[in-house]
Amino acid sequence: MSGLLFGSGLRIQAAVKRKVFVSYHHDGDQAYYDAFSRAFHDTYDVITDNSLDRQIDSEDVEYVMRRIRENYIAGSSCTIVLVGKDTYARKYVDWEIKATLDAGHSLIGVQLPTLSVNAQRVVTIPERLNDNINSGYALWLTWADITRSPQTCQTYIEAANVKNKRLIDNTRARRLRNG
């Protein structure tokens, strides 16, 4: 909805309700996905929980990638990867990140409280996500950062959406198995 603000000559426009895809390890981080969906259901179209592990029973890589593109990534503007302790080792998380980058969509990684930090203050995250954090394309936030408020989350998503697409690093080979 847009209109003219009476007496000011300024046009007003309703905020865009962005469609956001959330990628995560379903067995380990479902509660965080549920909390994110509840907190932001009025602000974003959070693409529903369609676990690839349950939905796609195929070893055909091209078929699975097509399903990811058509059923999960298409229509979204941003992928938010919830990164818990086992997320780094999940092949479908890697494939969802790859499809996101192939489409030129924005990418945000979120450090969940379950993600272990070693003595050197290093965390283990999906390699393709790490490539894009290092290139400057993806944002890396904490759970507390992104869930502070709908406005804060929106600010991060908008910041990710204006990143230069030339920063995308999607050259890594696709993960072939979990673990």
Mind listing the pLDDT tens digit for each residue in 39-67? 887 777 666 545 554 456 667 778 877 88
DSSP conformation class of 48 = P
Q: Is residue 6 part of a domain?
A: no
Q: How does residue 115 score in pLDDT terms, banded at 50, 70 and 90?
A: very high
Instruction: Give yes or no for a contact between 135 and 83, defined as CB atoms under 8 angstroms apart.
Output: no
Q: Is residue 4 part of a domain?
A: no
Q: How does residue 124 score in pLDDT terms, banded at 50, 70 and 90?
A: very high
- pLDDT tens by residue, 156-174: 999 999 999 999 999 999 9
Q: Is residue 7 part of a domain?
A: no
Provide the pairing of β-strand 11-13 with 2-4.
Answer: antiparallel
Instruction: Give yes or no for a contact between 137 and 171, defined as CB atoms under 8 angstroms apart.
Output: no
Taking phi first (over 0 means left), then psi (-120 to 50 degrees means alpha), and beta for anything else, what does residue 104 get? Answer: left
pLDDT of residue 66: 85
Task: Show the domain range for 150.
Answer: 16-167
| Total tally of structural domains belonging to the chain | 1
Q: Is residue 115 part of a domain?
A: yes
Name the 3-class secondary structure at 111: strand
Instruction: Give yes or no for a contact between 77 and 105, defined as CB atoms under 8 angstroms apart.
Output: yes
Residue 99 CB neighbours (<10 A) = 24
Q: What percent of the chain has pLDDT over 70?
A: 83
Token pair in block for residue 94: 């890697």
Q: What percent of the chain has pLDDT over 90?
A: 56
pLDDT greater than 90 at residue 125: yes
Q: How does residue 4 score in pLDDT terms, banded at 50, 70 and 90?
A: very low
Q: How does residue 118 score in pLDDT terms, banded at 50, 70 and 90?
A: confident
Token pair in block for residue 164: 């230069």
**For range 133-150, the mean pLDDT:** 96
Q: Is 8 exposed, middle or buried (0-12, 13-18, 19+ CB in 10 A)?
A: exposed
pLDDT greater than 50 at residue 13: no
Q: Is residue 172 part of a domain?
A: no
Q: Is residue 46 part of a domain?
A: yes
Question: CATH number of the domain that 41 lies in?
Answer: 3.40.50.10140
**Which of 87, 28, 59, 73 has its CA nearest to residue 176?**
59
Q: Is residue 22 part of a domain?
A: yes
pLDDT of residue 168: 99
**For range 97-109, the mean pLDDT:** 96
Q: Is residue 59 part of a domain?
A: yes
